[in-house]
Amino acid sequence: MPDVVTPDRLESAVETGLDGRGISGDQALLLMDHAPLSVLCEAASTIRNRSKGRAVSYSRKVFIPLTHLCRDYCGYCTFRADPSPGVRPYMLPDEVLAVAEAGRRAGCKEALFSLGDQPERVFPEARAFLRSMGFDRTLEYLAAMCELVLEKTGLLPHSNPGLMPREDLWRLRETNVSVGLMFEAASTRLLRPGGAHWKAPDKVPLLRLRTIESAGELSMAFTTGILIGIGETNEERVNALLLIRAAHEKYGHIQEVIIQPFRAKPDIRMADSPEPTKADLQRTIAVARLIFGGHVNIQSPPNLLSEDYLELLNAGINDWGGISPVTKDFINPETAWPQIPALAARTASAGFVLRERLAIYPEFSSRPKFVRDRLEPHLQKIRNEDGYARSNQC
Residues that bind ligand SF4 (CB under 6 A): 70, 72-74, 77, 79-80, 116-117, 162, 200, 202
Nearer to ligand SF4, 263 or 289 (CB): 263
CB of 80 to ligand SF4, least distance (A): 4
Residue 220 CA to residue 213 CA, distance in Å, equals 10
CB of 202 to ligand SF4, least distance (A): 6
Q: How far is the CB of 370 from ligand SF4 (least distance, A)?
A: 26
Q: According to DSSP H, which parts of 84-153 are helical?
A: 93-105, 124-132, 138-153
Q: Which is nearer to ligand SF4, 17 or 116 (CB)?
A: 116
**Alpha-carbon span 48 to 259, nearest angstrom:** 15
Cβ-Cβ contacts under 8 Å for 277 (sequence gap 6 or more): none
DSSP 49-80: HHHHTTEEEEEEEEEEEEE-B-S---TT-SS-
Task: With beta carbons less than 8 A apart as the criterion, state whether 319 and 278 touch.
Answer: no
Q: Which of 326, 204, 331, 201 is nearest to 258 (CA)?
A: 331
Task: Please name the helix (run of DSSP H) or strand (run of DSSP E) that holds residue 225, with its range, or none.
Answer: strand 221-228
**Nearer Cβ to ligand SF4 (72/213):** 72
Dist. CA 54–CA 302, nearest whole Å: 17
Closer residue to ligand SF4 in complex, CB, 160/219: 160
In sequence order, what are the beta bridge partners of 157? Answer: 111
In angstroms, what is the minimal distance from the CB of 34 to ligand SF4?
A: 32
Give the residue among 67, 74, 300, 332 at the shortest CA–CA distance from 204. 74
CB of 319 to ligand SF4, least distance (A): 21
| Nearest CB to ligand SF4, comparing residues 271 and 279 | 271
Of the two residues 127 and 208, which places its CB atom closer to ligand SF4 in the complex?
208
Nearer to ligand SF4, 198 or 308 (CB): 198
CB of 384 to ligand SF4, least distance (A): 34
CB of 116 to ligand SF4, least distance (A): 4
- What lies within 8 Å, CB to CB, of 281 at 6+ separation is 228, 259, 261, 300, 305, 312, 315
Closest CA to 258 of 177, 321, 331, 329: 321
- Nearest distance, CB of residue 84 and ligand SF4, angstroms: 16
**Which residue number, 117 or 213, has a Cβ lying nearer to ligand SF4?**
117
Q: What are phi and psi of 298, to 5 degrees?
A: -120, 130
Q: Indicate the residue type of 256.
A: E
